[in-house]
Amino acid sequence: MLYGAGEEMDIKTAVFPVAGFGTRMLPATKAIPKEMITLINKPLIQYAVEEVIDAGIERIIFITGRTKKALEDHFDINVELNQQLESAGKTDLLYDMKRISEMVDIIYVRQKYMLGLGNAICCVQDIVKNEPFAVILPDDIILSKTPVTKQLIECYNKVERPVVSLMPVAKNETSKYGIVEIKEQVDTRLSRLKDMVEKPASNPPSNMAIIGRYILTSEVLSALSKIDKGAGGELQLTDALKYTAKYYDVYGYEFEGKRFDCGTKQGLLEATINFAYADNLLAETLKDTVASLNL
């Protein structure tokens, strides 16, 4: 057990590090965070927020940088817009707008310097204290029956240790991800991890990549304060998990779902096509458009 008698262990907090520069999506990300980029008709961040709410999360912490205003405005009440929708009788839209601002409690924390994902996570130490929490990288959008955050929480409830989401990738893609070495397969999807390496230039320990959904514990936070800068000169979350795995069990879970890296043009295009295909109204438009291209 990680906690003392009577201490709350349920995962109720989700941390969204959204302070990165998003250089791969410039110029779209010059004035807004990449999480505000639109997929069909919602910003990426809203898909991720809806995912964690469906997983039972009650409190969200956004770790933001210089472009936090757009995020704040998106989840804030827009009184004038609501009045306009009400007087125009657009009740469905009004309901949607109210739902966004009433979704969940959001705390905003500023990451002073862009020193990497690991450094961003350190910024929540004083808020989460000893509580385990979910971490969501909202540019990883996942189409799944069960929200991936919920899949990970269910694993955490069994093992009460950190759990990272895993996905097999092509061997020539491993240098783009944190890659794990599996110690023991616990069941079809859950494994105990031996080691992990961030963006291996050669000899990846496997083809299982860490994707942007995690359940972390206080051990990982304390590991972040002990490790040095890693790949790209940044404080890497993967390095903190590697450190933690030396002393405690760390688990990986091969999630059910299809993941899209919406922090890249290709990934956003793939996501757009897949989400359109999954939408009754848009599927016809998609089919007609593709047919008209005579590919």
Residues in CB range of 81: below 8 A, 6 or more apart: 97
Pick from 71, 117, 153, 197: which binds ligand UTP (CB under 6 A)?
117
Q: Would you count residue 267 as binding ligand UTP (CB under 6 A)?
A: no
Rounded-to-integer distance, Cα 199 and Cα 80, Å: 47
Q: Would you count residue 263 as binding ligand UTP (CB under 6 A)?
A: yes
Q: Are 180 and 193 in contact (CB under 8 A)?
A: yes
Pick from 11, 13, 17, 193: which binds ligand UTP (CB under 6 A)?
17
> Which of 273, 10, 246 has the alpha carbon at shortest distance from 150?
10
Q: Name the one range near ligand UTP by CB under 6 A: 6-14, 22-30, 40-48, 281-289.
A: 22-30
Q: Could you give the 3-state DSSP secondary structure of residue 203?
A: coil
Pick from 15, 36, 52, 63: which binds ligand UTP (CB under 6 A)?
63
Q: Name the one range near ligand UTP by CB under 6 A: 37-45, 85-93, 115-123, 166-174.
A: 115-123
Q: Would you count residue 115 as binding ligand UTP (CB under 6 A)?
A: yes
Provide DSSP, 68-95. HHHHHHHHS--HHHHHHHHHTT-HHHHH
Rounded-to-integer distance, Cα 106 and Cα 275, Å: 27
Q: Answer positive or negative: Cα dihedral of 98, 104, 105, 111.
A: negative
Residues in CB range of 47: below 8 A, 6 or more apart: 39, 138, 141
Q: Would you count residue 57 as binding ligand UTP (CB under 6 A)?
A: no
DSSP label of 202: S
The residue at minimum Cβ distance from ligand UTP is 20
Q: Name the one range near ligand UTP by CB under 6 A: 111-119, 151-159, 176-184, 240-248.
A: 111-119
> Which of 195, 268, 178 has the alpha carbon at shortest distance from 232?
178
* Complex with ligand UTP: residue 116 or 132, whichever CB lies closer: 116
Pick from 1, 6, 23, 102: which binds ligand UTP (CB under 6 A)?
23
Least distance in angstroms from the C-beta of 52 to ligand UTP:
14
Question: In the range 119-148, which residues lie near ligand UTP by CB under 6 A?
Answer: 119-120, 137, 139
Q: Contact positions toward ligand UTP, by CB under 6 A?
A: 17-24, 34, 63, 111, 114-117, 119-120, 137, 139, 263
